[in-house]
Amino acid sequence: MLDSEIHDLSDDADYAASLQQGSASVMLCNDSTKESSSASELDGAEIVYSKENVAIHPTQFAISGRLKLIKQGSSLFMTWIPYKGHNADTGLSDKDRNLYTIRAVPFTEIRSIRRHTPALGWQYIIVVLSTGLAYPPLYFYSGGVKEFLATIKQHVLLVRSAEDANVFLVNDFQSTLQRTLSSLELPRAVPLARGPSNMSVDESTLNENEERNDSGVNNGSVSVPQFHRRPRHKVHDPARDLSIQVLEKFSLVTKFARETTSQLFRENQTNGFSTNERRTQIQTNLDPPKSSNVAGKISDENSAVPDSLEFDNLSLVWGKPRQPPLDSKEWITFLDSEGRVTDSEAMRKRIFYGGLDHELRNEVWGLLLGYYTYDSTYAEREFLKSVKKSEYENIKNQWQSISPAQAKRFTKFRERKGLIEKDVVRTDRSITFYEGDDNPNVNVLRDILLTYSFYNFDLGYCQGMSDLLSPILFVMDDESEAFWCFVALMERLGPNFNRDQNGMHSQLFALSKLVELLDSPLHNYFKQRDCLNYFFCFRWILIQFKREFEYEKTMLLWEVLWTHYPSEHLHLYVCVAVLKRYRSKIMGEEMDFDSLLKFINELSGHIDLDATLRDAEALSICAGEEGAARIPPGTPPSLPVDEGSFYIQQDDEVL
């Protein structure tokens, strides 16, 4: 540690003092700065903030370095480079030093910045990434957090969270979950890994700048190459799979990531539920014999053996066998002569146990999603279809009528349109419906998402929405019908994409409570391993297991979930079911957060859906009212308790 004193780190005091000194360690304003400015102009990059003596604490020793904000065009990047020759006492090798280095992470990859001002000690910040993980806390030995936030606000939209005044949300007009999961959109997460990157800072220049000057001010210039659009992949883009390199990179700072995300999660859990919970624990044959039945072999080195005997015992009592899909002949028995559903509960229960023939999905999905009411007739549904088609065209015309001159002055539209166009060409391209160059269905997917961003302008577009829309368009095969079914789905799942992630946090909180109720040994294990934030289940919940099953199985799972039988939150019991099935492997191999995250993502394509649904049904019935009481009201996919409150975006003063 460079200084053993306890500093008073009042933001306002630091800022006032730095202003009196006339430097503030932000802009370079001496002769060497002029040289840097010319170099920056040449390279298209400018250092807009530079702060010395910013440290991380991976061990009992501190690692000090220089924190910078770099501006290139309209993009802002953050770097933190450890000093050379100042970390010998920490036992940090050059290799480790490079791994701790934060190299030019764009603010499009950052979800939020949490500011901590202890009563005693150094002020520090925690930068939380859109993946849900975080960098190590950055301690400001010499103050300057307020300058840091003020500089960011000059270049990107930074707003204070309504939930916590010390959390500042980074919004590049795409909302926080725009790049939530590296497994959904890996190219935006690759800069964190040691592999190829969309953007990198010239390493020789960075290394040169790492040398600390006697004056404590950086004189160097930064060379930042321009972004290049990644080549379009026609069918399968392997970059969309979870990057092991990213996981390995994060494993070096996992302790910080776990502590940070756990702290963030705990702070979002403070509600009345914990005080009202009953102490009853539901135990279900927690230690069965090991099963030799391998449900699916992930790889030669990592085969997952589910704890199937335990679940067979549950399923024999509650989990009924799956049935064949509901076909057209049986479907008409649920309708009267005019097309009304005569017994919606029986219909939903039948779909829960067997799903639908694909030919029926076009007709039934609109009912399950609530676009059509169960008591509507054939004629009423056709009339609504024509009315809604006209309404859709009117909304679509709002963005289609924007001229190029208007678009130049409409930043949010340009940003959203650009993001949508990038995402749709990488969504389900291995499916025949979307494969090939110049596929018109891809254009329809884009048009629907752009129209939705105008229909729900507060929420706009977030990464992951294209995954939710894709099967709906595939089934409905009609632009207007797909749009309105998507709108109905987003009424329930929209909070998953909130900027403050209140929807995701409430579901992860509920999941932790259900695991505590239904599998206390596993819950205790996660507690010991600092995994109670359940971020390893983030992808499952965000896009409803879209990446975990093949396309047909995904559609089956979704229509089962939409029945809301036997629970409106069956997807959470599905999560519990999968975790319980692999509990012995998780605990037996003593998985920590990183290995658990890697394992969970490698389960993709290897989960037995029918068995999992039987297990989830059994768990839901087993939990009963106790389980329902542990899920906060309004938790998605429940409709909002206070409709309209989810998408309010505040532009209050940040500092």
> What is the DSSP secondary-structure string of 438-463?
T-HHHHHHHHHHHHHHHHTTTT---T
Give the range of the structural domain holding residue 416, as residue numbers without chain letter.
378-496
Within a domain: residue 277?
A: no
Within a domain: residue 480?
A: yes
Boundary (domain end) residue, out of 479, 496, 513: 496
* 428 contact partners, CB below 8 Å, separation of at least 6: 434, 467, 470, 551
Instruction: Output 217 or 415, whichever has higher pLDDT.
Output: 415
Which pLDDT tens digit goes with each residue over 241-252?
Answer: 333 343 334 344
Within a domain: residue 483?
A: yes
CA distance 376 to 344: 12
Query: How is residue 229 written in tokens?
Result: 């659009």
Within a domain: residue 303?
A: no
Distances 49 to 40, 70, 499 between C-alpha atoms, Å: 14, 7, 26
Boundary (domain end) residue, out of 428, 461, 496: 496
CA distance 40 to 623: 61
Instruction: Check whether 300 has a pLDDT greater than 60.
Output: no
Place 147 in a pLDDT band, splitting at 50, 70 and 90: very high
Residue 64 is predicted with a pLDDT of 86
Query: Are 547 and 514 found together in one domain?
Result: yes
Query: Are 36 and 127 found together in one domain?
Result: yes
Contact in structure between 353 and 320 (CB atoms under 8 Å): yes
CA distance 121 to 246: 32
Residue 647 backbone dihedrals phi, psi, to 5 degrees: -110, 10
Instruction: Check whether 508 has a pLDDT greater than 50.
Output: yes
Domains held by the chain: number: 3
Q: How many CB atoms lie within 10 A of CB 297?
A: 11
CATH of the domain at 542: 1.10.472.80
At residue 487's C-alpha, the angle toward residues 483 and 490, to 5°, is 135
DSSP-assigned states of every residue in 356-373: B-HHHHHHHHHHHTTSS-
Within a domain: residue 345?
A: no
Q: What is the mean pLDDT of residues 594-608?
A: 94
- SS3 string, 89-146, reads HHCCCHHHHHHHCEEEEEHHHEEEEEEECCCCCCEEEEEEECCCCECCCEEECCCCHH
Instruction: Check whether 136 has a pLDDT greater than 50.
Output: yes
Query: Which DSSP letter does residue 167 get?
Result: E
CA distance 308 to 314: 10
The SS3 of residue 54 is: strand
Mean pLDDT (the chain, rounded): 75
Residue 109 is predicted with a pLDDT of 87
Instruction: Check whether 45 has a pLDDT greater than 80.
Output: yes
Which pLDDT tens digit goes with each residue over 427-451?
Answer: 999 999 999 999 999 999 999 999 9
Residue 298 is predicted with a pLDDT of 37
Query: Are 431 and 397 found together in one domain?
Result: yes
Residue 165 is predicted with a pLDDT of 84
Query: Which DSSP letter does residue 634 get?
Result: T
Give, rounded to a whole angstrom, the gap between the first and last alpha carbons of the chain: 29
Handedness of CA 194, 149, 67, 3 (dihedral sign): negative
Query: Are 97 and 202 found together in one domain?
Result: yes
Query: Are 460 and 511 found together in one domain?
Result: no
Place 472 in a pLDDT band, splitting at 50, 70 and 90: very high
Instruction: Check whether 296 has a pLDDT greater than 70.
Output: no
Boundary (domain end) residue, out of 480, 496, 512: 496
Q: How many CB atoms lie within 10 A of CB 336?
A: 11
Within a domain: residue 290?
A: no
Within a domain: residue 355?
A: no
Contact in structure between 539 and 183 (CB atoms under 8 Å): yes
Return the H-helix or E-strand segment holding 71.
Answer: strand 63-72
Within a domain: residue 206?
A: yes
Lookup result for tokens 């559609």 = 555
Residue 371 is predicted with a pLDDT of 97
Question: In the chain, what percentage of residues exceed pLDDT 90?
Answer: 51
Query: Are 506 and 483 found together in one domain?
Result: no
Query: Are 57 and 193 found together in one domain?
Result: yes
Question: In the chain, what percentage of residues exceed pLDDT 70?
Answer: 65
Query: How is residue 632 written in tokens?
Result: 């906060």
Query: Are 115 and 166 found together in one domain?
Result: yes
Which pLDDT tens digit goes with each residue over 68-116?
Answer: 999 988 889 999 998 876 555 555 666 666 777 888 899 988 989 999 8
Instruction: Check whether 530 has a pLDDT greater than 50.
Output: yes
CA distance 9 to 411: 37
Instruction: Output 158 or 452, whichever has higher pLDDT.
Output: 452
List residues bridging with 169 in a β-sheet: 112, 159
Residue 213 is predicted with a pLDDT of 39
The SS3 of residue 235 is: coil
Residue 43 is predicted with a pLDDT of 61
CATH of the domain at 492: 1.10.8.270
* Least confident span in 117-121, 334-338, 515-519: 117-121
CATH of the domain at 133: 2.30.29.230
CA distance 394 to 417: 18
Contact in structure between 160 and 654 (CB atoms under 8 Å): yes
Query: Are 595 and 454 found together in one domain?
Result: no
Q: Which amino acid is at 412?
A: K
Query: Are 427 and 531 found together in one domain?
Result: no
Q: How many CB atoms lie within 10 A of CB 405?
A: 8
Which pLDDT tens digit goes with each residue over 548-573?
Answer: 999 999 999 999 999 999 999 999 99
CA distance 324 to 318: 19
Instruction: Check whether 473 has a pLDDT greater than 90.
Output: yes
Query: Are 611 and 579 found together in one domain?
Result: yes
Query: Are 426 and 548 found together in one domain?
Result: no
Query: Which DSSP letter does residue 640 get?
Result: P
Place 23 in a pLDDT band, splitting at 50, 70 and 90: very low
Contact in structure between 517 and 537 (CB atoms under 8 Å): no
Instruction: Check whether 291 has a pLDDT greater than 80.
Output: no
Instruction: Output 119 or 421, whichever has higher pLDDT.
Output: 421
Lookup result for tokens 């995402």 = 423
Q: What is the mean pLDDT of residues 6-34?
A: 34
Instruction: Check whether 67 has a pLDDT greater than 90.
Output: yes
